[in-house]
Chain A
Amino acid sequence: SQTIHQWPATLVQPVGSPLSLECTVEGTSNPNLYWYRQAAGRGLQLLFYSVGIGQISSEVPQNLSASRPQDRQFILSSKKLLLSDSGFYLCAWTGTRNTIYFGEGSWLTVV
């Protein structure tokens, strides 16, 4: 069966520090991958999606970037975090019949 893993689950980072969140999908090949953000008291916002290795599209301009170095690996990064980057980050992938499944999420607090 397919599974998706995200790490770290929680992190507290100072303003101006770098960020790296990782996501790995198992049990499938060439999935569409996504990064969503859920800010406090707000809905879910699509940040990036990827249809293949090295193919990244951004939905909104921001302080973040994404990379897909391997078929089932998706990384969310920042060179310098802002306070506004705080939130709950969710990796997701598209399974059969256009159904999107989510990872456990990563809580980021920028202080």
Chain B
Amino acid sequence: AQSVTQLDSQVPVFEEAPVELRCNYSSSVSVYLFWYVQYPNQGLQLLLKYLSGSTLVKGINGFEAEFNKSQTSFHLRKPSVHISDTAEYFCAVSDLAGGYNKLIFGAGTRLAVHP
């Protein structure tokens, strides 16, 4: 079965600094990877996804992630964060073994952007 590990439960950072949120997944023949963001008291919003093709994927709000098959990683990055980026970020992998698309989530990383 697939699994996802988000290596940092909390990441504090100052405004306008770069940030990287780390995500590793268990290996599989083929994999679909996602990053979602959750603002307080809201549902999950899709940030970006990797399905195939270019290993560098760009998402909304200036975020990007790089798929690294050899390291089974899918780290999320942003070159300059804003206060409004404060939220919880979830990495997820699709598990298609059961014949349907089942998302397996990491435990989440809380990004706190300070002025």
User: Are A and B part of the same complex?
Assistant: yes
Looking at the complex, which of A14-22, A44-52, A61-69, A75-83 is the stretch in contact with chain B? A44-52
Residues of chain B touching chain A, judged by Cβ–Cβ distance below 8 Å, are: 32, 34, 36, 41-46, 49, 51, 90, 94, 96, 100-103, 105-108
Complex interface: chain A residues within 8 A of B108 (CB): 43
Q: Is the interface of A mostly helix, strand, loop or mixed?
A: strand
Q: Decide if B43 touches A102 in the complex (CB within 8 Å).
A: yes
**A87 — which chain B residues lie within 8 A by C-beta?**
none
- A interface list, Cβ under 8 A from B: 6, 32, 34, 42-44, 46, 49, 51, 90, 92, 94, 97-105, 107
CA distance A22 to B22 in the complex (A): 34
CA distance A82 to B22 in the complex (A): 35
A87 to B77, CA, bound (A): 30
Given contacts A43-B90, A49-B100, A49-B102, contact A98 B43 (CB under 8 A): no
| A34, A94, A100, A105: the one within 8 Å of B42 (CB) | A105
